[in-house]
Amino acid sequence: MTLANGTKLGPYEITGAIGSGGMGEVYRAKDTRLDRVIAIKVLPDHLASRAELRERFEREAKTIASLNHPHICTLYDIGQHGGTDYLVMEYLEGETLAERLKKGPLPLEQVLCYSIEIADALDKAHRKGITHRDLKPGNIMLTKSGTKLLDFGLAKLRGPQAAVANLSALPTEGSGLTAQGTILGTLQYMAPEQLEGKEVDARTDIFAFGVVVYEMATGKKAFEGKSQASLMAKILETDPPPMSSLQPMTPPALDRVVKTCLAKEPDNRWQTARDLCRELKWISESGGKHFDAAATAAPVGKNWLKTALGAAAAMAACILVGLAVWFLRPAAPKTVTRFAMSLPP
């Protein structure tokens, strides 16, 4: 449904539409009590009509509202008015990362800055037991104060499985290819375990994070296909080209970080967003110029013969110069000795 300007949902007055998706419509609104601009997401009828989903959502929303982090969009309130369920969120000015990527890859400095902020936000959520499950450029807002991670309201809480399906188990729509049915999220950013319908955890978000960083640095999606089936096969079976092959100025250390994020098996990825964030900070503080041991070992091994030959040639040249100096030095002047002797008669 579409809400006209001036429509009131409790104390909130709609002032304009922002966007829409499979999980609802988002509007710009005014909080008439606090006189501030906010964003309201109206839940679609197929979710709001089920009492058990609303109950489950309210429990999750209370936990998500406790996420106080500078790079997570704040959830202020939830409510119902005239049979319409809605979320009240922080209003953000800026553009999504998806919109920015239409212009091409980001400079390395921005890639590292945004990556650190997003990883830090994920760490905060994961420590609260919340897995996002739909991390993608369209859910990252770029503002004057930095990045803001959106749509934690559809995340999954860690703990025993609920007796009923929760909101995060339902399909979403996005700008890319999406799966319909029981798979959540936009396919290009989904981890293999999501595609296979297995249990997900924080490491699932870390895979999606790697895909996002890859796209920020190269301007290309890590996984692409002409159909859902071919795209899913790519995610399950193949690795994307190294970022440095598409963007030569990419530091090898950053290439290694993203490659680890994109490991097919969750056990082979970074295990926590905190460790990931720490690694990215190290790369950023070093100016992106440091090479890790694995990156430097290969070139040294390949070029050992060339290095040895160069050293031998230099030594031979030194010897030849020494010999030339020795043999071509000027001869020392001869000493003349004089003496007198008396002859016998």
pLDDT digits (tens, 9 = 90+) for 61-120: 777 788 889 999 888 988 888 878 888 988 999 999 999 999 999 999 999 999 999 999
**Nearest Cα to Cα of residue 195 among 204, 33, 203:** 204
Task: Give the least confident one: 35-44, 129-138, 144-153, 175-184.
Answer: 175-184
185-221 per-residue burial string, b: 16 or more CB within 10 A, e: under 16: bbbbbbbbbbbeeeebbbbbbbbbbbbbbbbbbbebb
Q: What does the block give as tokens for 103?
A: 């212009």
pLDDT digits (tens, 9 = 90+) for 311-324: 777 777 777 767 66
Using a 10 angstrom Cβ sphere, with 0-12 exposed, 13-18 middle and 19 or more buried, the burial of residue 289 is: exposed
Is 159 a residue whose pLDDT tops 90? Answer: no
Average pLDDT along the chain = 80
Q: How many CB atoms within 10 Å of residue 166?
A: 19
201 a catalytic residue: no
Q: Tell me the sheet residues that pair with 24.
A: 21
Q: Is there a contact between 141 and 94 (Cβ–Cβ < 8 Å)?
A: yes
Lowest mean pLDDT among 178-182, 207-211, 214-218, 338-342: 178-182
Answer for the pair 231, 223: CB distance below 8 angstroms, yes or no: yes
CATH T-level topology, domain 9-90: Phosphorylase Kinase; domain 1 (3.30.200)
Q: Catalytic residue among 31, 120, 123, 134, which?
A: 134
Higher pLDDT, 194 or 341: 194
User: Tell me, which fold does domain 95-296 have in CATH?
Assistant: Transferase(Phosphotransferase); domain 1 (1.10.510)
Q: What is the pLDDT of residue 79?
A: 86
Q: What is the pLDDT of residue 208?
A: 95
How far is 307 from 310, CA to CA, in rounded Å? 5
Note the residue count of the chain.
Answer: 345
* Mean pLDDT computed over 44-65: 70
Element (H, E) at 123: helix 108-127
Domain ranges of the chain: 9-90, 95-296
| pLDDT score recorded for residue 180 | 40
